[in-house]
A and B are shown apart, each in its own frame.
Chain A
Amino acid sequence: MLKIENLHAEIDGKAILKGLTLEVQPGEVHAIMGPNGAGKSTLAYVLGGRPGYEVTEGSVTFGGKDLLDLEPHERAAAGLFLGFQYPVEIPGVSNVQFLREALNAQREERGEEKLTGGEFLKLAKEKAGLLKLDMDMLKRHVNVGFSGGEKKRAEMVQMGILDPQFAVLDETDSGLDIDALRVVGDGINAIMRQPDKGVLLITHYQRLLEVVKPDKVSILSDGRIVRTGGPELAMQLEEEGYDRVMETA
């Protein structure tokens, strides 16, 4: 459902992605691991369409559409969700208002009925419960004053509410303690582990992959996928480190 071919991208003229090719099928969780500076976050931002990240070559198709041709908000309406490594604080805008406007904007773009305030609150309550996030948190301003762990849980509540076809999760496990990691991992499973959905799970560490079991694991290094394997590849990385595993690639 997501097909990336020979993707090259640069920031301020500096090449970061250098011919990245990757495909994720419906029903698949595909983990991307790699050392610092390999281009993991750049990949996430390029898929989300962040201004300043320029694609110089290659293509990305999502559900048959040219993803790179869509504006960031159109990508969201097409069913793409980007989970941020550092979720942004938006003072003055409550989570409830933000998410209701966002969901209704997506629904409108897709030609669907908008949700009423009551319908939305019911949905928000259900998803907040799933992530064990207090409903009061959703009445507060977006990410303002949230701890690192709360931001990541709120991020997953957003994902639950927006119910995307495909999620690109950029180091969703960073800043989480063991218990929160379990809650977030269970949340990802509950929301995204479905035959018609896909996940690109970008992570540094094996520990999230013990909860969200990937179907495939790829290693990203210097802007390219250097190796793809099954879940055992993540275990091997944990034991041997990137350098040794990549030597044998």
Chain B
Amino acid sequence: MTEALILPTTRDEAWRYSDVAALEGMDLSTFDDWRDIEVPAGESFRDVIAITDENTGPDETVLHRLRVRLGEGARCELFGLIAAGRLGRVEVVVTLARGSHFELGGVTVGGRETTREFVTRMAHEEPEATSNQTVRSVHWGKGTGNFLGRIDVVRNAQKTDAAQSFKGLLLEKGASVNSVPQLEIFADDVKCAHGAAIGQLDESARFYMASRGLSPDLSRRLLVQAFIGDAFVALDDEEQREALMQAALDKLDRHL
């Protein structure tokens, strides 16, 4: 017997800024397909998710839902670019055992009427685990970029170090970005840093760059490259890093 699927609404915290109407356009039988990733104690795992025009149509809805369980001292690195589709969403739920580390580097770019979002939940269930999340969103047109990051630190998870950094860059009026950090901390000896900043391109930097001969397009490209670069700094495979950067910047070049 299959249970009827109840689609989320924007009243659900994790879908608050999402485009829930876009879900109707997807194959709903896959809605609850979670990918489970187990990283055994002491081992490392890395994955790169790229939602781009090469694998996703302009009106498609693409969900990546991942459940990651980290064993003691394990490490998981996830890097993602969401640059295509009407709704692109990467959802990650991570459970961290003692001394493990989770790293997320995410970038959303987009214009038109699109929504691209990272939604994460870190469950620090044992002491001494660390997590670091860096998300950068660059939007124009009526594009929306979201980062909803929840961090739960249970009572005995002392020496947890969980960091979250979000920055949004709005290239045109009409675009928007949303950041919702949600921290629930029940241990008393922890470090949980989160920061969010939203802005536009720095006009004094653009004039400075123009005065050296860079056209408005070139200066924007350089500044955006610097901006999103933060999210992929921790990716030490240079080829993968370059490919992600290139795909993000190409998107910008094609549409602006």
Footprint of B on A, CB under 8 Å? Answer: 48-51, 71-73, 75-77, 81-82, 84, 87-93, 97-99, 101-103, 105-106, 109, 158, 162
Contacts and interface: CB of A to CB of B under 8 A. Distances in A.
A71 B204 CA distance: 15
Contacts, number: 75
Given A98-B222, A101-B218, A90 B212 contact: no
B208 A84 contact: yes
B213 A76 contact: yes
A91 B136 CA distance: 15
Chain B interface main SS type: helix
Interface stretch (B3-11, B46-54, B171-179, B224-232): B224-232
A103 B203 CA distance: 21
Interface of B: 202-205, 207-216, 218, 222-223, 225-227, 229-230
Contacts of A90: 202, 205, 208-209, 222-223, 226
Contacts of B208: 84, 87-88, 90
A75 B211 CA distance: 7
Given A88-B205, A90-B205, A105 B226 contact: no
A89 B226 CA distance: 12
Contact of B207 (A72, A77, A105, A109): A72
A76 B210 contact: yes
B207 A51 contact: yes
Contacts of B212: 76, 98-99, 102, 158, 162
B70 to A, nearest CB: 30
Closest 7 CB pairs of A and B: A92-B226, A72-B210, A76-B213, A106-B213, A102-B212, A88-B208, A73-B210
Contacts of B225: 92-93
Nearest to A90: B205
A50 B213 contact: no
A93 B218 CA distance: 12
A105 B213 contact: yes
Contacts of A76: 210-213
Q: Which of A49, A81, A92 has the most CB of B within 10 A?
A: A92
Nearest to A91: B226
A126 to B, nearest CB: 18
Nearest to B222: A93
30 contacts: A49-B210, A50-B207, A51-B203, A51-B207, A72-B211, A73-B214, A75-B211, A76-B211, A76-B212, A76-B213, A77-B213, A84-B211, A87-B208, A88-B204, A88-B207, A90-B226, A91-B226, A92-B225, A92-B226, A92-B229, A92-B230, A97-B222, A98-B222, A101-B214, A102-B212, A103-B213, A105-B214, A105-B215, A109-B213, A162-B213
